[in-house]
Amino acid sequence: MSYRLHLSKKMFIFLARKFIERIHMTKQKKTICISAGIVLVLVISYLSLPYYARQALIHLMPVIDDLETFHRHVVHHDADSVWLWPQAEAYNQHQLSEKDAAYLDSLHTVSFLVIRRDSILFEDYRDGWNDTLTSNLYSATKTIVGLLVGIAFDEGKIHSLDDKASDYIPIYNKGMQADVTLRDLLTMSGGMAWDESYASLFSVTTHGYYGNDLYELVTGLEVKDRPGIQFSYRSGETQLLAFVLEAATGETLSRYAEEKLWKPMQAEKDAYWLLDKRDGDEKAFCCFHTTARDAARLGSLLLQQGKWRGKQLVSQRYMDEMLRPASYLKDQWGRDSLSYYGLQLWLIPYRGETIPCMRGMLGQYVYAIPSENAVVVRLGRKRCDVYDGPFTTDMTRYLDIAMHILHP
């Protein structure tokens, strides 16, 4: 009897162990099946997303060194006619205060350059950057488009700034699209249904930056607000302006910029314009790559009202309008007349004067300071998110730092 009881206990223990092992195996299999199911759902969900959303998830957020992320056109410089910025007598003699240096670092500044009277007074590179590396200028690129429109206008390839966009892009004629003029696009008053959102995966801005169908995207957007009434910052209107420019000149944006700006300005390095796909369209609203020193040439062009070393590249009549606020428009809040935007160019009130400024989303700034005969370039990985009216507070803070350098 005791022998049988002993066997029964051993059998019970054996069977219990097997049962527990089976439970563990079942749990493991169940966990594996659930995990595989989750992965499968995620893969299917990812593959069902539009192309631009998949690209956005891969790259997450825009960065200044995205040159290898996208296809691009080269904007060639002329190696035989390069003009180098000379160094001022007091070159880099200024020592940044601890407060100014800390501020530059706090927003991950990579380049800070001050040029006065066509000579480099101060240049500072941080975070592993140097004078040969190119940065995406982001929306500071818009001013380049504005300058190129002026050149095409001067050449008679654009007949009038009051021409309809549909004169150059016939399919842009649905509803109020047919009412939009080039001047409306230049002053960001074209009424386009463009959501200027950088954080949303499905915003039209994300689509434009990561997508591969810029022409279809921009020409297909409706005009929701009456054109020529109120300023509202919309990147898509610059992109449409670029398509007008290409139709008017018969050249790609990169080629036209190379012929009319980059080579005439005797650039030191090649620049790059990012595309929406291989052999595709330039991202005119955002994505011109250049060095801090070559970006300063654009600032000089603004400072000298269209002249480069005495030669008028953009006419005085066009520059007069570009550098003047489109005050016939309402501002972005609809309260007052517009006082801070010209033709694809920001205009900052500072110490009693108006400072033209090229402005990019990560704090890419090119300033022209008339009273100082100076150009300031700040490139970096981050901007301040605190606003004072239409401007972030870092924009005037960098001007303060520049003034400390100009007047030590």
Question: Where does the pLDDT of residue 8 fall: very low under 50, low under 70, confident under 90, or very high at 90 and above?
Answer: low
Cα–Cα nearest to 211, from 274, 276, 284: 276
In a domain, 350, yes or no: yes
Instruction: Name the phi and psi angles at 160, rounded to 5.
Output: -155, 145
Sheet holding 346-350, edge to edge: 119-125, 109-116, 374-380, 365-369, 353-359, 346-350
Looking at residue 105, its pLDDT comes to 98
The pairing of beta strand 391-392 with beta strand 135-136 = unpaired
Position 20 in a domain: no
Q: Tokens 């929701």, residue? A: 224
The pLDDT, as a whole number, for residue 187 is 98
The rounded mean pLDDT for the chain is 91
Higher-pLDDT residue of 40 and 169 is 169
Residue 5 has a pLDDT of: 37
Look up residue 67 and give its two tokens.
Answer: 């040159």
**CA–CA gap between residue 286 and residue 204 (Å, rounded):** 14
Helices assigned H by DSSP within 250-285? 253-257
What CATH number is attached to the domain comprising 356? 3.40.710.10
Question: Helix, strand, or coil here: 283?
Answer: coil
pLDDT in tens, 202-252: 789 889 898 899 999 999 999 999 999 999 999 999 999 999 999 999 999
Within a domain: 16: no
pLDDT of residue 46: 53
The pLDDT value recorded for residue 312 is: 98
Q: What is the mean pLDDT of residues 285-301?
A: 98
In a domain, 376, yes or no: yes
The pLDDT confidence band at residue 13, using thresholds 50, 70 and 90, is low
- Tell me the pLDDT tens digit for each residue of 45-100: 555 567 766 766 666 678 999 999 999 999 999 999 999 999 999 999 999 999 99
Establish if 42 belongs to a structural domain: no
CA distance 304 to 296: 12
Q: Which amino acid type is present at position 301? A: L
The mean pLDDT of 130-137, rounded to a whole number, is 98
Section 355-371 average pLDDT? 98
* Domain assignment of residue 92, yes or no: yes
Q: What is the structure's pLDDT at 61?
A: 77
Please provide the DSSP assignment of 334-383 as one string.
SSSB--SB-SS-EEEEETTEEEEEEE-TTS-EEEEEGGGTEEEEEEES--
- The confidence score (pLDDT) of residue 4 equals 43
User: What is the structure's pLDDT at 197?
Assistant: 78
- Helical pair 292-303 and 141-154, crossing angle rounded to 10 deg: 50
22 assigned to some structural domain: no
| Counted domains in the chain | 1
Q: How confident is the model at residue 384 (pLDDT cuts 50, 70, 90)?
A: very high
Q: Is residue 30 part of a domain?
A: no
pLDDT of residue 342: 98
Q: Residue 3: which pLDDT band, with cuts at 50, 70 and 90?
A: very low
Q: 352 lies in which domain range?
A: 57-406
pLDDT band at 6 (very low <50, low <70, confident <90, very high): very low
